[in-house]
């Protein structure tokens, strides 16, 4: 039986199932001469190139959105714990 390739492209999306090494993992996330997206060192698809300034903007926006969402959840939980006053008007 023929061995299946462990790297390549499928419908234009890269994949790599070779056993990852520390050097390959580190070097794949820092490629100064590449664009914002680079091939993943292990798995399917693309990842952010941390040598590109646009990647840092994406990470900052994602972090701000996550912070905003968690802050909103804390406020919602605090409002749910507060007592509620009910006024009944008997006319």
The encoded tokens of residue 21 equal: 């090494």
Identify whether the C-beta of residue 28 lies closer than 8 Å to the C-beta of residue 47: yes
Q: What is the pLDDT of residues 12-23, one digit of tens each?
A: 999 999 888 898
Conformation bin of residue 11: beta by default, left when phi > 0, alpha when psi is -120 to 50:
left
Q: What is the pLDDT of residues 29-75, one digit of tens each?
A: 999 999 999 999 899 999 999 999 999 999 999 999 999 999 888 77
């Amino acid at each position: 039986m023929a061995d299946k390739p462990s790297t390549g492209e499928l419908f234009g999306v890269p994949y790599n199932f070779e056993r990852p090494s520390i050097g390959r993992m580190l070097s794949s996330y820092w490629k100064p001469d590449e664009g914002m997206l680079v091939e993943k060192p292990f798995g399917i698809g693309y990842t952010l190139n941390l040598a590109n300034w646009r990647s840092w903007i994406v990470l900052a926006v994602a972090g701000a959105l996550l912070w905003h969402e968690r802050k909103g959840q804390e406020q919602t939980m605090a409002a749910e714990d507060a007592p509620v006053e009910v006024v009944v008007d008997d006319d």
